[in-house]
Amino acid sequence: MAHKARKRFGQNFLQDATIIDDIVAAINPQLGDTMVEIGPGLGALTIPLAKRLKCLNVIELDRDIVVHLKTLFMDQNVLIYEGDALKFAFPTLGSGLRVVGNLPYNISTPLLFYLIEHFAGIQDIHVMLQKEVVERMVARPGASDYSRLSVSLQYYFDMDKVLDIGPHAFDPQPKVDSAFVRMVPRRSALLEARDPALFSQLVSLAFSQRRKTLRNTLRQWFTGPDLEAMGIDPGARAQTLSVDDYVRMTNVLTVRGAKAKTSSDK
């Protein structure tokens, strides 16, 4: 198919056969898996995945590509959903869902947060993203890349970078490097936030001014002695705290009766 990549859809089509083989091997699809591919594009991953599955679900926004996919997989085991992955009802596909894809970089972060909403029904996620984003996702406390994204995703997932991928693997070639990441739901978290929405707001507030100390960024909720009582240095900055530190702070607030703010409260 002769298809001109569209910038508004963030399209860069994977074409490197070796990289494709490595990605499929990392995903390790099993015959009976419930799998959904986000943004199949011209089918570089779709074709080898479909050969190893009873059924593969794909979500594609570009109507021209949908037409191509319906022709390519006519009478085969690929179910094609035309639409926006940010609005897709993932629970309709069932539980134990395996999510894969070369995510459009222009919506990758909001899409990851959208998948968090369906966390309970996900078995694992294997996706390609901008390398810079992946490095933030897997960063550890104290690292320069450690951010709100790191904490927010690491609360829900254990993650590891599987593969670095250069621009040469795509057509057209992007101006950035990419990476392939594995995300597995963190079922056995040592600590659980009693109010996940409040946890999210606390993390956002802490990282809202990275250069300021927690004594300043969190002053609406905690005093210096409050933080010290939890074993947290009031002079520390957001990027030095672990996920469990944020969970503990959230649970203290919950015991006090604090509530997550809704859009009408802001």
Q: CATH for 7-185? A: 3.40.50.150
Packed helices 148-156 and 108-116: angle between N→C axes, nearest 10 degrees: 30
d(Cα 128, Cα 164) in Å, to the nearest integer?
A: 9
- Write the single-letter amino acid at 199: F
* Residue intervals in the chain for CATH 1.10.8.100: 196-255
The pTM score is: 0.89
* Residue intervals in the chain for CATH 3.40.50.150: 7-185
Instruction: Name the CATH superfamily for 196-255.
Output: rRNA adenine dimethylase, C-terminal domain (1.10.8.100)
User: Per-10-residue mean pLDDT for the chain, 266 residues long?
Assistant: 45 86 97 96 93 96 90 89 95 96 87 92 96 96 96 95 95 88 81 91 95 95 95 96 95 91 58
